[in-house]
Chain A
């Protein structure tokens, strides 16, 4: 049985903000199915009472001293921006026409 359908892959692509083509959907559906069936093997391990590990190093919040250190200038910070204006990142419209009007 397939672990994942073509429609589910299309849904994942939308969630992932990937405007995939119809041809890619055909290819990815088959490939993701193989991969998901293989990784589902983790379910064979009896681990109900085992705590999860997110990280090999025990993590605690780390705060630095509140001291001013050198940092990027606005020009440097914006140097890689696809579009900038008045020391800010310029983006395509966020609101739809309906909401904006």
Chain B
């Protein structure tokens, strides 16, 4: 394994800026690593070899010309296939968009390019970001680098696995109910969901528009913060984008890394440390709480009673929004068209196209959403879920009057074996039990590795108030400084 692929993004950027290595060398090392291991991991759906090397050469030329480089210039990044990339295939893990090459870049992709990062390619995901294992990808599953027979989490399993397999030092994910944090937890990597509206959704293929939040993934907290800083901030092309500067997450990560949490009040969510979590997950979590306490944090338990209803509320709200958003996949403007024989009507072609193009989980969610929005069911299902959303937000607001941030395990279990939950869709949903409340509230959340259980990674989640993303980085970086990072067995 080349030294370059084991480095942090921070280290790579410093070496490139100092001329000790070139962006081309760094990029080639990662492309070589992908060639060596990705047939087993399958983190990538598309590797853009030529584009990556061209972007790397551009960084090297700028450096040679004496230009000032940004903090992540020359660092390779893997991008979840949910973001539009100009001229580069964008599938959302679905057959309905197979072969589609977007005519424009998502805002986040544009910012990555402007920052001089090098996009290696597009990573695998559950179709339309609906799933918790990446097994619902139409292009085959991704394998967890810690144990190739286990799931890497989802929907962003490709991005998380690319990090854990040292195929990329940085990655982009999107989090609607935990799709950044849960894969981070089960692969021993860091995944952060920014405040909703803190990162632009322009060019992000929509699943549930009031919840979808793109964000950074990395192997350590400071790298995640640097990436967050690069991609975050107001975007006039997203009407829900918050017109405020990104909280200083980089400074917060550096402050946390000093290992001092004096004066920081943390609340353990009582509802998430009961019998639902595996004993090994709870053991790692409890040890981490001790570590946080030793660094000066004041830790109390806080009850958020409505969180128990977050999962059912989410599985009404997200499918309702999805049933509306995915109506655009009609075989007219882009993507697949099936059955257009000159005789069939538009509606028949539309139904055949959607039948052929969508996988089973996407169909289930479209139908659940259609049901929840039907007249007669609307008040009892979608309307009631929106009221529960209000109560969950009130639980968060009340909790943040007592504590600075909330903590919990990120997921109830370690990575489960592939195939264990695909026959029972509701069992799959339970993987997101602890991550979903944050999405309904709109605040930020981060998963940071906090130990191992039976040789598999466990994540700790930090949840902070809206636009206080810096707080979660401080706590996560402090925990990382106390217990270190975790490396999977050699592939």
Interface bits A1-15 vs B (CB < 8 Å: 1, else 0): 000100011001111
When distances are taken between beta carbons in the complex, the residues of chain B under 8 Å from A64 are 236
Q: How many Å lie between the Cα of A40 and that of B388 in the bound state?
A: 12
A57 touches B390 (CB 8 A): no
B interface, CB within 8 angstroms of A: 100-104, 196-197, 210, 236, 239-240, 242, 306, 309, 312-313, 315-316, 323, 327, 330-337, 340, 342, 344-352, 354-355, 358, 360, 363-364, 366-368, 370-372, 374, 380-381, 383-391, 393, 424-426, 429, 440-443, 466
B368 touches A42 (CB 8 A): no
B309 touches A17 (CB 8 A): no
A53 touches B386 (CB 8 A): yes
When distances are taken between beta carbons in the complex, the residues of chain B under 8 Å from A42 are 309, 312-313, 316, 381, 384-385, 388
Q: How many residues of A contact B (CB 8 A)?
A: 54
When distances are taken between beta carbons in the complex, the residues of chain A under 8 Å from B374 are 15
Q: How many Å lie between the Cα of A43 and that of B384 in the bound state?
A: 7
B350 touches A56 (CB 8 A): no
A interface, CB within 8 angstroms of B: 4, 8-9, 12-20, 24, 27-28, 31-32, 34-36, 38-45, 47, 50-57, 59, 62, 64, 72, 76-77, 79-83, 89, 91-94, 96
Q: Known contacts A16-B366, A39-B316, A80-B102; decide if A57 and B442 are in contact (CB<8 Å).
A: yes
Q: How many Å lie between the Cα of A93 and that of B313 in the bound state?
A: 40
A36 touches B391 (CB 8 A): no
Q: Known contacts A18-B354, A35-B425; decide if A53 and B393 are in contact (CB<8 Å).
A: yes
Knowing that A17-B347, A19-B348 are A-B contacts, what are 13 other residue pairs whose CB atoms are under 8 Å apart, sorted by A's residue number? Answer: A12-B371, A16-B370, A18-B367, A19-B354, A24-B360, A24-B363, A32-B368, A39-B313, A42-B312, A53-B393, A54-B386, A56-B393, A82-B332
Interchain residue pairs A-B with the least CB separation, the first 10 = A56-B442, A52-B386, A80-B334, A82-B337, A47-B387, A76-B103, A19-B351, A19-B355, A53-B389, A39-B312
Q: Give, as a whole number of angstroms, the nearest-CB distance from B227 to chain A.
A: 22
Among A20, A51, A80, which residue has the most Cβ atoms of chain B within 10 A? A80
Q: Known contacts A18-B355, A80-B102, A81-B333; decide if A39 and B367 are in contact (CB<8 Å).
A: no
When distances are taken between beta carbons in the complex, the residues of chain A under 8 Å from B323 are 16
**Pairs A–B under 8 Å by Cβ, sample size 21:** A15-B370, A16-B366, A16-B370, A17-B354, A18-B367, A19-B352, A20-B355, A31-B364, A38-B315, A39-B315, A41-B309, A42-B309, A42-B385, A45-B387, A50-B391, A52-B386, A62-B239, A89-B333, A92-B340, A92-B349, A93-B346
